[in-house]
Amino acid sequence: MQWVNFLHLYQPVHTDAHFIKEATDLSYTRIIKALEEHPHIKFTLNITGCLVLRWEELGYVDLIIRLGKLLKKGQIELVDTVMYHPLIPLIPKKEVINQIKENQAMFKKYFGANYKPAGFFFPEMAYSPEAAKLVKALGYKWIILDEIAFNGKLGQADFTKKYIDKNSGLKVILRSRKISDSYVPKTINTLLNGKKTDLVITATDGELYGLRHHDQAGIFERLLKRKELETITVSDFVNDKSREEVEIKPKSHHWNISEEEYQKGEAFNLWQDKTNKVQKKIWELANLAYDTIEKNNKDKNYYWARWHMVRGLVSCTFWWASAKDFKEQFGPISWNPDEIERGVNELIRSIRALEDVASRETKVKAEKLYVTIKKLVWERHWRYYWKK
């Protein structure tokens, strides 16, 4: 059996240090160690630049060096993305390009000529035709999407085939949602025992391997020793000329969208729901912050204003305000006032940081928005979600 394993390693840049340490010690280090101990194994990794930034700060440079050795040996393939994990279809094109360039600079700093990403990862696999065209124009060759991109239905994609996105011309590889939503090593081990599957394509968060699933039996490491298992990178798969290519024309979607949401065109309502008053106000503040900072790009504090702004634009700021019920999948309600505040605080600080006196009226407007958001969040929390 061939296994294409795509791993997404990300922690919000403004999160507390102990969260990053926990994910790194329980999951990321485990993945790297497993690769080092099994030199025939290959994985494709997306590591956000903002995580590397925090690794530097927290003393994990040795981990980055170990990744560089695996990259040089060909055991890992790295793909590109945006630096701070915003939702690409919902932010300005200029900001997408800026964050891609910053992400590239971070990885070239450590890996130099060995960093040659052919693929690109949309945070949350949040695809739109416009975003795909931009990625293609920047020179990337392939993207990975959820299987729903095939025709808007689950369980109908043929994972043995390569796909071509008619919207952009990018090559596409589709992940199996069902297997990706399981503890993947255990599922693959079961499939190997049944000898009924020739190929498995999974894409998961790296935290699955330790932080989110306590694999006390070491199923992951034991799986990597099985001789019947061959691992290949996404580029290995995409470059295989023997595989049939099929054109698809996906609509906007993300990696957890339902069939109903896909058909209705409700692509990103986890982050921007028109009926969600909290999210609407946060986006109002986010857009005000972005526009204000861009207009004041000569301001003496522009660097620090932008420093805060990109930390507020992370997808988590909006996701934690969605209040969606995920008990059927991986958790309870996606509602956390502290996480919402974490992002909103960065957005208001970005405007506060500007020095130019001409920005005073905008500052007052932003402060009023900020207070409104805080009021909405905590009133909703105590009235509806506390103890749920």
Domains and CATH numbers, the chain: 2-264 (3.20.110.20), 277-385 (no CATH)
pTM for this prediction: 0.95
What is residue 54's predicted lDDT score, i.e. its pLDDT? 98
Alpha helices in the chain (DSSP H): 17-23, 29-37, 49-58, 61-73, 93-111, 129-137, 177-180, 184-194, 219-224, 234-238, 259-264, 277-295, 302-312, 315-319, 337-352, 360-380
Report whether 120 contacts 79 (CB < 8 A).
yes
What is the share, in percent, of the chain residues with pLDDT greater than 70?
Answer: 97
Tell me what pLDDT residue 327 has.
64
- How high is the pLDDT of residue 360? 94
Residues 6+ apart with CB under 8 A from 262: 148, 152, 251, 253
Which parts of the chain sit beneath pLDDT 50? none
Q: How far apart are CA 288 and CA 293, in angstroms?
A: 8
Question: Per DSSP, what are the bridge partners of residue 143?
Answer: 120, 172
Of all residues in the chain, the percent with pLDDT exceeding 90 is 94
